[in-house]
Structure 1
């Protein structure tokens, strides 16, 4: 082969990432059609595979068939690699230079980001829609104005603040929607938005999606939800009469059997996007949400259209109006129009509250009680704040307020990021796969490839926080990284979803995996693998997740303190092989530093490391008394099946 044929960024993928046409632009020109139908027709000159909806791939499908004569001609024209074997070879400088031109990055990304992006482009070259976004929008740029690493009520409050500020349209997507305090916060926001729209005399269009699996989805994966259904006790969205100035449309999406719609995001007026780890339900979870602005919003918007796939009634009003940078540049902190007093924490937050609060939002000027600190715009204890996540009776076992608190140790769940310029970003998603099998081919998506690339190209360290950790590809990749001297730090939640993870082919429980991983490493490798059980800020030891008191549902990977991947994907078999996920890969060391600092200050996880046999013991050598070990036998399978069925039906869920 010639050098041109063997390079990792092919002519075909280079050409398609430079196309001016996307699902968004095509749908804007043909709004009577649907994003799904448009997707089938786009990029025909670049295609290598036929696209048919046969139930084994996401959306309208990416089905691999025997290549036709015409497709062989396309392969020859664009020097297409027939497989992903090139991913085992480190990219050359020429590959990195070429990859840097395959995205709207604004500036040249770091070499680490580009190496990972080369691998992502390779999977796009194989399957154009494996990233669930039009390829020209795969690589982009933007800013992270705020992150929330906290309980669900704080994240729902920011959703509320953004919803009521909408002027034109909202696209809201979640996995589980359950009638709850959290869902009622969204309902209240929609009602307030309708009142504001009425005062302005201009209607607002709202599209929403969730996953409540139903037998009818064996024939139609996406189903419009009628008002009669969404008013049922398990959902309880507002009546149309309660939101008269909103054109509301809802789609229920699931790909049987296991193709869960697991994404969690919201886009408001094509100005901002929220990408979160939490569902819209009440859970005692620590979660993570990022507030994004910039051209990356258009990438997420395009993804949202592909998720929806069906005709819209009415269409979104801003289809023809891409993201525009705000006048005067991006605003950070309390200068951002979506920031409210609820976003203020700590002693600095209290000072800002005094500065910004109006007469109708007075702060309690009396000295707070000794154990109370300023969190989410008011004085409260850390335990009171953590208990707001649907666990009112859990008591603290760890002193959260030292005698002389340092600012670096304050509990501050709202991260108001330092001012920064636009940085390179990429969407690294995966579509749903219904089949219960777990073939290697199912890893051919941008999410899984990006994660594996991060572990492959890391030079010094990798940090991962996930509620579960058992997918064989990531377990194998972490072991390989540790063996070559990369420090791998894993923050995992002991006991999280043990019933489901103990089922056959799911990878095992977190405790089982921890023991197995350490057993496979030599002494040198064991020193590079550091596993910790999640521990709440007010606790002196981990609490098994089955108790539903202090759980963690954050999904974050940071490589060499440079590149971060944040979103909805867990490191379990379900997210690696089956669920539809949304994740953003961000090239910004400062943002990564702020994330790591916030995780340290808002958790006690860093104090509770497993020993090198994969077992946690406290300072006195005691193992966890509430550890629940589910054996993979008959009873374990029955319990796991009950748990999994409840999750799929939307009656439970992590």
Structure 2
């Protein structure tokens, strides 16, 4: 890595000196790291060049961004997601793979007829974690996971028949991992020919939610590939590059005209600046954990979340913020996050939270024992109590007078721009599923992690941090354009003062 920002450098130092690192990351966690080994540190601290950022619904991002990338691959597709369900997204993926197989079969026939070598086999790896309650209850509790037999691809997973894929020299493997009671493998990413990577927030599912997706190239692709290898395919040599022939890639790009496209009024490609050099980047894993560390009684102090790289980085960002924190998260049920954001407000930081109040309520109750709506109400009450204390005791917290040093707290609730209509050609997002944190308009974190208890304590997650003001500002402005008219003010301390 040729350069590191101050935040990346300080984060790496902290990671290397974490007292729990060796014991925590070498036992039951998946994946396992030992960050006292410089080789493992290199799998986290890297560089990347962002190529694109899209906002839209899951179906619009899959059909406009991810599926075209998959059909452009010539050697290898690694496709990791969490939830897998019958949906327009799955139908589009099925059709794209079937068309790709047919296209490849024609190329093979043409090559043989003209005495040319066959095209290279295309290895497609699909990794998932959750299909149904039944599947999770009876899933093998092994790091080897469950490998779906070819006969199950069409009937159970909605994928093309094995014979069709085989005729197009597509070597498919589908694997799932899940650990009771709540440990889903929650990351979502796509790696194309080990050269391009995509980190979306969406699953293969029917939900019409607001999502985001970043594409990047550079060293960080190898770092992401190492995360895949340590979790899903330990025999893979992630450091071995693939050579992609330009003429072969152009042949597959002709498939784009036949792909299904699903539109959304919320879909937008955000224009990014031309970066003069690769940007400091952290690939931030957060391993799954078996023990949710519930402390159900009110007199019990909440347990601290595991010290994973993603959790450490987010807490450091909140602690070091000096001007602004922007958090967009589907759910907000992690007490550690709420306390950190409240501390930032007390230091004078402007904190903006965009979330939903009635999304996945049952899941929140099961995994956290509370809901986002209740946590928001508690956050507002604590904000008012803290303000009252500072008003009575001006020197508390180091403030000069009353609430003069208080930062602004804004909480926004997402809602659809218009009432969704059954059978409508365009998908209107009904909830926000985007996971985005921007601190001081410079440090950006995207990925799979929510600000809820499940993401911070049990689920495997993955974040990517980009340290660049230009990238942060373009992403923030792009998201603001899309959410304009789709937000309600739940609380705004600035308006109340």
Q: Which residue of 2 aligns with 1:4?
A: none
Cα drift, residue 324 of structure 1: 8.8
Residues 595/320 of structure 1: CA separation in 2 closer, same or farther (3 Å cut): closer
Residues 137/250 of structure 1: CA separation in 2 closer, same or farther (3 Å cut): same
Cα drift, residue 309 of structure 1: 4.0
Question: Matches of 1:112 and 1:319 in 2, distance apart?
Answer: 27
Q: Which digits, 9 at most, give the CA deviation of each residue in 1:199-219, with x for residues without a partner? A: 152211111111132424235
Cα drift, residue 575 of structure 1: 0.4
Indicate if the aligned counterparts of 1:442 and 1:577 stay in contact, CA closer than 8 A.
yes
Q: Which residue of 1 aligns with 2:36?
A: none
- Please tell me whether residue 119 in structure 1 is matched to residue 119 in structure 2: no
The 5-angstrom pairing of residues 466-505 of structure 1 reads 466-503=329-366
- Please tell me whether residue 222 in structure 1 is matched to residue 145 in structure 2: yes
Cα drift, residue 606 of structure 1: 7.7
The 5-angstrom pairing of residues 336-355 of structure 1 reads none
Q: Which residue of 2 aligns with 1:142?
A: 48
> Which consecutive unaligned segments of at least 5 residues does structure 2 have?
34-39, 109-117, 131-135, 295-301, 388-402, 420-427
The 5-angstrom pairing of residues 70-469 of structure 1 reads 104=1, 106-109=2-5, 111-123=6-18, 125-126=21-22, 127-128=24-25, 134-157=40-63, 158-198=65-105, 199=107, 201=118, 202-212=120-130, 213-218=136-141, 222-233=145-156, 235-244=157-166, 245-309=169-233, 319=238, 321-322=240-241, 385-386=264-265, 413-420=268-275, 421-438=277-294, 440=303, 442-469=305-332
Indicate if the aligned counterparts of 1:138 and 1:427 stay in contact, CA closer than 8 A.
yes
* Matched position secondary structure for 2:363: helix
Indicate if the aligned counterparts of 1:532 and 1:605 stay in contact, CA closer than 8 A.
no
Cα drift, residue 325 of structure 1: 12
Question: Matches of 1:591 and 1:137 in 2, distance apart?
Answer: 22
Question: Matches of 1:535 and 1:426 in 2, distance apart?
Answer: 32
Question: Matches of 2:241 and 2:15 in 1, distance apart?
Answer: 25
Question: Matches of 1:452 and 1:171 in 2, distance apart?
Answer: 30
Task: Give the alignment partner of residue 609 of structure 1, picking from 482, 489, 494.
Answer: 489
Task: Give the alignment partner of residue 381 of structure 2, picking from 511, 519, 522.
Answer: 519
The 5-angstrom pairing of residues 614-633 of structure 1 reads none
> Which consecutive unaligned segments of at least 5 residues does structure 1 have?
1-103, 328-335, 343-359, 362-375, 379-383, 387-410, 540-547, 618-654
Question: Matches of 1:481 and 1:217 in 2, distance apart?
Answer: 43
Residues 425/561 of structure 1: CA separation in 2 closer, same or farther (3 Å cut): same
Residues 149/119 of structure 1: CA separation in 2 closer, same or farther (3 Å cut): farther
* Matched position secondary structure for 1:217: coil
Indicate if the aligned counterparts of 1:471 and 1:507 stay in contact, CA closer than 8 A.
no
Cα drift, residue 150 of structure 1: 0.7
Cα drift, residue 454 of structure 1: 0.5
Q: Which residue of 1 aligns with 2:114?
A: none
Indicate if the aligned counterparts of 2:60 and 2:264 stay in contact, CA closer than 8 A.
no
Q: Kindly report the root-mean-square deviation, in angstroms, between the aligned alpha carbons of the 2 structures.
A: 3.4
Residues 253/612 of structure 1: CA separation in 2 closer, same or farther (3 Å cut): same
Q: Which digits, 9 at most, give the CA deviation of each residue in 1:546-591, with x for residues without a partner? A: xx96111000111101111100011110000010111101111111
Indicate if the aligned counterparts of 1:159 and 1:186 stay in contact, CA closer than 8 A.
no
Indicate if the aligned counterparts of 1:412 and 1:601 stay in contact, CA closer than 8 A.
no
Indicate if the aligned counterparts of 2:8 and 2:45 stay in contact, CA closer than 8 A.
no
User: How many positions carry a matched residue from both structures?
Assistant: 428
Q: Which residue of 1 aligns with 2:423?
A: none
Indicate if the aligned counterparts of 1:113 and 1:563 stay in contact, CA closer than 8 A.
no
Residues 236/281 of structure 1: CA separation in 2 closer, same or farther (3 Å cut): same
Residues 549/537 of structure 1: CA separation in 2 closer, same or farther (3 Å cut): closer
TM-score (norm 2): 0.78
Q: Which residue of 1 aligns with 2:399?
A: none
* Matched position secondary structure for 2:461: coil
TM-score (norm 1): 0.60
Q: Which residue of 1 aligns with 2:371?
A: 509
* Matched position secondary structure for 2:91: helix
Looking at secondary structure, tell me which structure has more strand per residue: 2
Indicate if the aligned counterparts of 2:71 and 2:96 stay in contact, CA closer than 8 A.
yes
* Matched position secondary structure for 2:489: coil
Cα drift, residue 612 of structure 1: 5.3
Question: Matches of 2:316 and 2:406 in 1, distance apart?
Answer: 22
